[in-house]
Amino acid sequence: MASENESSRGEAIPGRRIALITGITGQDGSYLTEFLLNNGYEVHGLIHRSSNFNTQRINHIYIDPHNAHKARMKLHYADLTDASSLRRWLDTIRPDEVYNLAAQSHVAVSFEIPDYTADVVATGALQMFGSTPPPQSEASPFHPRSPYAASKCAAHWYTVTYREAYRIFASNGILFNHESPRRGENFVTRKITRAVGRIKIGLQSKLFLGNLQASRDWGFVGDCVEAMWMMLQQEKPDDYVVATEESHTVEEFLEVAFSYVGLKWKDHAVIDKWYFRPAEGDNLKGDSSKAIF
């Protein structure tokens, strides 16, 4: 990003489709921004104030707003817990499409800050399946297993309620876990891959983990953001599961990651009860047949 983490002005460039993204600095926000810019969009992103720069994932696509003819991505300060800031930017930007990706998205952390998680996430809308037996589709009953997932359920139903009451074009993407090198470092895939690299070059010897038997339907975020966009290009709003329909345990992930560099995970991984959650969604495997457009 340029020298100052300033937010830019809100004026739109005439004739272009305009997208507004909450959570633009997150993993998904950064991939979605690249996708939309490549497809000719003007992208406005809402960032929340932090005492340090929090734009590392989008620095490579940021252009100083003083270079107005080139800058198709614009950043503005707002917060999901501050309705007036959201209203202000919606009214100023008047976007064609809104992608609500902002969240306190860490499940284990949501047990420690449940009120804040509900504040931020209940106004978002994505993952929410817990102990419902797999495969989980749009028709599966929700059984959330954390304050995060319960908040996502609320967000899901807010969206459905407003869609039915006011005919708003609003869709829920029910996305199963999706990963990339930009995944937050305290999520299990990035925690493991980062540790593998550090162990291989001698910077670390042990990796402390929790439940290795949990199973996840892990996909790639680049595919998921394309699915988000496709949902908004449909004739009617609807809700869609986005998943790979394949599920693997954390232990299997460990095996693949360590063997990739010729190491044995059992020599380095140590179970630490601290990383177990008070409740867990054990077995996640999506049924995304409805989303095969």
- Burial of 174 per CB tally in 10 Å (0-12, 13-18, 19+): buried
Question: Exactly one of 104, 117, 159, 172 binds ligand NAP (CB under 6 A); which one?
Answer: 104
For the bound state, the minimum distance from the C-beta of residue 131 to ligand GDP, rounded and expressed in Å, comes to 12
Q: How far is the CB of 159 from ligand NAP (least distance, A)?
A: 13
**Residue 102 binds what, of ligand NAP, ligand GDP, none (CB under 5 to 8 Å, by partner type)?**
ligand NAP
Q: Which is nearer to ligand NAP, 155 or 254 (CB)?
A: 155
Q: Which does 28 bind (CB under 5 to 8 A by kind): ligand GDP, ligand NAP, none?
A: ligand NAP
CA separation for the pair 227, 233 (Å, rounded): 10
Contact 286, 248 (CB under 8 A): no
Q: How would you class 176 by CB atoms within 10 Å of its CB: exposed for 0-12, middle for 13-18, buried for 19 or more?
A: buried
Q: Compute the half-sphere exposure of residue 233: CA atoms within 13 Å on the CB side of its CA.
A: 10
Which residue's Cβ has the minimum distance to ligand GDP? Answer: 214
Task: Write out the H or E segment, with its range, that includes residue 110.
Answer: helix 107-112
Task: From the list ligand GDP, ligand NAP, none, pick the one residue 175 interacts with, judged by a Cβ distance below 5 to 8 Å according to partner type.
Answer: ligand NAP
| 144 is a site residue for ligand NAP (CB under 6 A) | no
Q: In the bound complex, what is the minimum distance in angstroms from residue 127's beta carbon to ligand NAP?
A: 3
Strands 269-271 and 219-220: unpaired
Cβ-contact 25, 47 below 8 angstroms: yes
The binding site for ligand GDP (CB under 6 A) comprises 107-108, 177, 186-188, 191, 209-211, 214, 216, 250, 275, 277, 280
Choice between 142 and 187, CB closer to ligand GDP: 187
159 binds ligand NAP (CB under 6 A): no
Q: How many Å apart are CA 34 and CA 267, to the nearest integer?
A: 39
Q: Going by DSSP bridges, is the β-strand pair 172-175/239-242 parallel, antiparallel, or unpaired?
A: parallel
Structure tokens at 102: 């902002």
Identify what 26 binds: ligand NAP, ligand GDP, none; CB under 5 to 8 Å per kind: ligand NAP
- The answer to whether the CB of 14 falls within 8 A of the CB of 20 is no
The one of ligand GDP, ligand NAP, none whose footprint includes residue 191, by CB under 5 to 8 A per kind, is ligand GDP
Closest approach of ligand NAP to the CB of residue 138, in Å: 14
Residue for token pair 């620095």: 59
Interface of this chain with ligand NAP, residues 44 to 73, rule: CB under 6 A? 48, 50, 54
- Positions in the binding site for ligand NAP (CB under 6 A): 22-23, 25-29, 48, 50, 54, 79-81, 101-105, 120, 124, 126-127, 175, 177-178, 184
